[in-house]
Chain A
Amino acid sequence: MKTLINIENLAVELQSKVILSQVDLSLAKGEILGLVGASGCGKTTLLNTLAGFIGQSAGSIEINITNNQQIKITLEDMLPAEQRNIGMIFQDYALFPHLSVQENICFGLKKLTKVEREKRCAKLLTLLELSEFAKRYPHQLSGGQQQRVAIARALAPQPSLLLLDEPFSNIDARLRNELMIEIRQLLKRLGMTAIFVTHNKDEVFTFADKIAVMHQGQVLQIGPPAQVCQQPNSWQVADFLQLGSWLPVTLPVDGNHAVITSLIGQIESSAIVNTLSDNKCDALLNYQLLVKPSDIALCQQQASNVIIEHIGVTEQGYHYLLSSIEQNSALAFSQLSFYSQELFVLGAKLAIKLQGEHFHLYQAS
């Protein structure tokens, strides 16, 4: 597939503060990328930089509009936003309150003839099932309808790339999933390339083909959601995606036959599937083991080592949050997730042990 957008070594500084650095991203035509990360990580800044609302301080952006038409945005040639052929859907939709739905959609079509304009507008109205609202004003529409107008408006000038800033945050939770699927199907049908920003990882799994996890202005990992979930490349990625609980461990000083020790048992270092960024296993550093609920089992034989802090009910059974009884140790933990069909009482003391075969080990930040 052909690359539609290629971002190289992009950096942004605002008021001499580094907001983005060393961002490399590339997307094929028709791909949908979900940009996630904690608030303040720079994901909205990245969108605004792509759109042209913020100037980059280093790096370049290339967009292949068609096979033989390409625009390149560099430090020397910062194309103004209106010439980038990029559409955007704003978090608050930014519909023009003084214009009707139809006029909103036609806003970016002034270069077309009247007939063409009306034709395209009618097509979009049909596509997004807005025909009956064409003459209404934004404040007369529901949140979901407003969003569809925003999408229709952004699609009207036929942008090569669509940016969506937290597009679903204002939508009723029950409708959200349905709407996401509907819009995803629409974008796929149009072959539209899109980047959307969210802080909700579930949205990414439903909506995106690819996920990019951002942290402190950098893209930590990018790839298909399943791959990223199975192979998180850093503590931050695993933590943000909430792939499991964190269990503090110590590493052996002597590298070869070492065992990795925690308050709930030991595992062989060979069970670690990922490679640490620096191979020097420094005992002074703070290492944490990514533990999935399925990696923990009750074991009656030994003395109790954890206490139940919280009990939740799920469809699969009870969800317990456990903390270590021993709290003075450097290895003390809390909020370890554990599922069981059995009902315990709050404050009950249990004995658990590690039982999995493959683990991820990270240096905590």
Chain B
Amino acid sequence: MAPIVVMLVASLNASSELFSHLWATVLPDYIYNTLVLGLLVALLSLCFGVPAAAIISQTDIVMGKQLRWLLMLPLAMPAYLVAYLYTDLFDYAGPVQRVLRTWFDWQSPHDYYFFDIRTIGGAAIVIALVLFPYVYLLTRIAFEQQDRNLLRASRLLGCTQRQSFYQLSLPLARPAIAVSLALVTMETLADFATVQYFAVNTLTTAIYDTWLGYGDFAAANALASVLMLFILFVVVAEQRARAGQRHQSSRPNTEHQRKQLSVVQQIIASIFCWFLVFAGFLLPVILLLVMAIDYADYPQFITLLATGKNSIVIAIYSATVATLIALTLALFQRLHQSRGRMIPVQISGFGYAIPGTVLAMAMLATFGPLDHVINDVAKALGFSAPGLILSGSLFAIIFAFVVRFSAIANGTINAGISQIPKSLDLAPASLGVKTWTAIFRVHLPLLKSSILVAWLLVFVEAMKELPAVLLLRPFNFETLSTQIYQLISDERLEQGALGAILIVLFGLLPIIFLNRQKDSK
């Protein structure tokens, strides 16, 4: 929380001169781009995610069981990686256009039309391809958990299967769709690395420009605050949507009758789903594999192990701390009936929306002075100065990750805790068992799988996260993502392909787990 305050305070010193310059020149375009990108990504994720969820949950599509989890795989791909691979692939000089030119003997760009990947549209498509699984996942769960009796009632009231889908299932799933869209939008707005490959300038570009170009940290913070305002809007919209979520039923879910697709429908639905799986996951992975096979060698593998270890270490720390905090907050909120109890959770959700680098800056601004105080005190007491024990160590990175990803952990754990009947909070006391003991003996065991899912999700995000580590890491400290980033920025991803595959493999862990858990239920 403190970093956000520091950021807001710092923004108060922003020079108005720089602002008016930005406003007069590029800022309106940046804001326009930001909004258009956010909307497009939301819209596309909707177009990808909701039909996919409907097809998987409502129809008898061939290989539905496999597609069910295959459609989640794109979540494992870091967006910047996919962005790099796709811009490379569809660029004028990329392999696709090269092959086309050779086949048709075109000489120059004027001979044919090919879409330009480096546009807002291109960026939106690629980002949506990676982020749509959020929409798919939440919407599918909403569809599957809908009270079957409601659907039966609507059939008895004369609606066809199709009508009852549009008039009942879809409106009932609206809160879930809204929540997932909010997540997608937040991630899009906070993104920098991805849009950079697409040469799309957004508000984050302006933040980096003012900070790194003009060297005006205050103005950068002010812009970041503007971005936060957008996010606030998204968050509020999401929470309003969630308020209507009460009509979800937890009635045991009997297997319902699936819609029989005609052959044509079957083909269309299959193409749609497989396209998403292919474009969002298979193709990037294949590209990476090809690179890895071409370039990987043994010494590279050894360094990879070392950097991989670093990645895993900070991911474990971050996941553990974020999960613990989320757990504490959720239990506090649940067991302590005070009025302000919702506030910490709501605020901590904002972190997700802060671009990693901005957050890293805020960390330095917060812990730097704190370190100075610690050192001054240590010296005054006659000890040797301990150095930058907060801002110069893994502490800062992990703290930044926790701030950034606590929204994910909170969401997962809250969802889990809301499944526990209220009476289970009271029952232990009526049996003479103290609240503390009750937490350990009742709540934690019941939350076991939620805790694990939260932990895994944060773990994966921490493995992928880049800018914060880049800026905050101590000496000689490389992670998989920083290594890949350096190779990407040097256009030598080939040599990082193996590491990228490793990140993707780790990203698969929670998906496999989520899927297994669902099956065992």
What residues make up the interface of A, taking CB atoms closer than 8 Å to B? 48, 51-53, 80-83, 85-88, 90-94, 96-98, 107-108, 110, 153-154, 156-157, 159, 163
Instruction: Mark each residue of chain B from 33 to 74: 1 if its CB lies under 8 Å from any CB of chain A, else 0.
Output: 000000000000000000000000000000000000000000
Q: B430 and A107: CB pair below 8 A?
A: no
Can you spell out 5 A-B residue pairs with CB atoms less than 8 angstroms apart? A81-B430, A82-B434, A96-B424, A110-B433, A154-B431
Closest to B446 in A: A98
Q: B430 and A87: CB pair below 8 A?
A: yes
Of B428, B434, B437, B446, which is within 8 A of A97 by CB? Answer: B446
**What distance in Å separates the Cβ of B224 from its nearest Cβ neighbour in chain A?**
38
Q: B421 and A92: CB pair below 8 A?
A: yes
**What distance in Å separates the Cβ of B339 from its nearest Cβ neighbour in chain A?**
9
In the bound complex, how far is the Cα of B441 from the Cα of A92, in angstroms? 19
Q: B421 and A81: CB pair below 8 A?
A: no
In the bound complex, how far is the Cα of B424 from the Cα of A53, in angstroms? 12
In the bound complex, how far is the Cα of B423 from the Cα of A81, in angstroms? 14
* In the assembled complex, B237 has its CB within 8 A of some CB on chain A: no
**What distance in Å separates the Cβ of A178 from its nearest Cβ neighbour in chain B?**
25
Q: B433 and A94: CB pair below 8 A?
A: no
**What distance in Å separates the Cβ of B336 from its nearest Cβ neighbour in chain A?**
13
Within 8 Å CB of A97, what residues of B? Answer: 446
In the bound complex, how far is the Cα of B425 from the Cα of A53, in angstroms? 10
Within 8 Å CB of A48, what residues of B? Answer: 426
In the bound complex, how far is the Cα of B432 from the Cα of A52, in angstroms? 11
Q: A108 and B426: CB pair below 8 A?
A: no
In the bound complex, how far is the Cα of B135 from the Cα of A262, in angstroms? 68
Q: B423 and A108: CB pair below 8 A?
A: no
Given known A-B contacts A91-B423, A92-B423, A157 and B446 have beta carbons under 8 A apart: no
A-B contact sample (12 more), CB < 8 A, given A51-B429, A108-B432: A53-B426, A81-B430, A82-B431, A90-B426, A91-B423, A94-B421, A94-B426, A94-B427, A96-B442, A96-B446, A107-B431, A110-B433
Within 8 Å CB of B428, what residues of A? Answer: 82, 107-108
Within 8 Å CB of A156, what residues of B? Answer: 431
Closest to A93 in B: B423
In the bound complex, how far is the Cα of B442 from the Cα of A98, in angstroms? 8
Within 8 Å CB of B430, what residues of A? Answer: 51, 81, 86-88, 154, 163
Within 8 Å CB of A94, what residues of B? Answer: 421, 423-424, 426-427
Of A53, A85, A107, A154, which is within 8 A of B441 by CB? Answer: A107
Within 8 Å CB of A52, what residues of B? Answer: 429
Within 8 Å CB of B437, what residues of A? Answer: 110
In the bound complex, how far is the Cα of B428 from the Cα of A52, in angstroms? 12
Of A82, A86, A154, A159, which is within 8 A of B433 by CB? Answer: A82
Contact residues, B420-454 vs A (CB, 8 A): 421, 423-424, 426-435, 437, 441-442, 445-446
Closest to A91 in B: B423
